[in-house]
Amino acid sequence: MKYRRIAFIAASTVLAQRACDRLRLRYAHTSPEKADAIVVLGGDGTMLETLHKHFQRRVPIYGMNRGTVGFLMNEYREARLHQRLDAAQMVNLRPLSMLARTVDGKSHHAYCLNEVALLRETRQAARLTLSVDRKVRMKELVCDGLLVATPAGSTAYNLSAHGPIVPLGAELLALTPISAFRPRRWRGALLPSTAEITIDVQEPKKRPVSAVADYTEVRDVRRVTVREDQDITLTLLFDPEHNLEDRILNEQFTP
């Protein structure tokens, strides 16, 4: 067996906790710090929290859906867990690194796996300046917000904002506006994964903007820099019939 030592992590819901109790009785389990693989029981939110918590260990993580959407999760079954882990396909993900500077001069750093979202905080639209690799590409974007999405996150908030679905192996990032007012017809851009994206907030005190990296929020930002961290690789495990790459591809043919 590839993964002899398994750690079980569950969401706080009754459904996930009961599943975790049954699996711990059925299979030997250990702490996440000693595990060869971590099995997550819950939904995509629990999966993201677990990935963030274990960034440094880079231990393979296998999810089973005991939540709602479960896009990052496999089907929940209690039997033959070791065999499923051994047969699972690896999907490597690289997180986005966000550096946000606020109007009071403070800097905040965070990682995310889905998207970095800039969102207006008040009734007034945000006014943003977009630069790619330190070259200004759009002097003014008036909008409700802006997303920088990874391929894995391109089917989440990005898709709801009418952004493109990005295949996992494409090595691209999606830059997607939220309710763009000016230029009205701008629908975003696809950028190489090596790009460094800088968003400057015009009139940050009059038109305050927050920056959100997965579940880390920084309010009243004046500049946000986003890039893919090439030095961190996270590994998810998927049953062959529920491969994440196939799921992302299938989303493009879902009516």
Domains of the chain: 6-93+233-251 (3.40.50.10330), 96-228 (2.60.200.30)
The candidate with the shortest Cα–Cα distance to 127, out of 163, 181, 197, 188, is: 181
Q: Structure pTM?
A: 0.88
CA 121 – CA 138 distance, rounded (Å): 22
Whole-number Å distance between alpha carbons of 181 and 184: 5
How much is the pLDDT for 187? 93
pLDDT of the residue at 186: 94
Q: Is 245 left (phi over 0), alpha (psi -120 to 50) or beta?
A: alpha
The CA-based angle 74-79-85, given to 5 degrees, is: 50
Active site residue: 21, 36, 44, 229, which one? 44
| Residue 2 confidence (pLDDT) | 84
DSSP state of 234: E
pLDDT in tens, the chain (255 residues): 688 899 999 999 999 999 999 999 999 899 999 999 999 999 998 999 999 888 878 899 999 999 887 888 999 999 999 999 999 999 999 999 999 999 999 999 999 999 999 999 999 999 999 999 999 999 999 999 999 999 999 999 999 999 999 988 889 999 999 999 999 889 999 999 999 999 999 999 999 999 999 989 999 999 999 999 999 999 999 999 877 888 887 877 877
Q: Measured in whole angstroms, how far is the alpha carbon of residue 5 from the centre of its chain?
A: 27
Is residue 44 flagged as an active site residue?
yes
> What is the structure's pLDDT at 14?
97
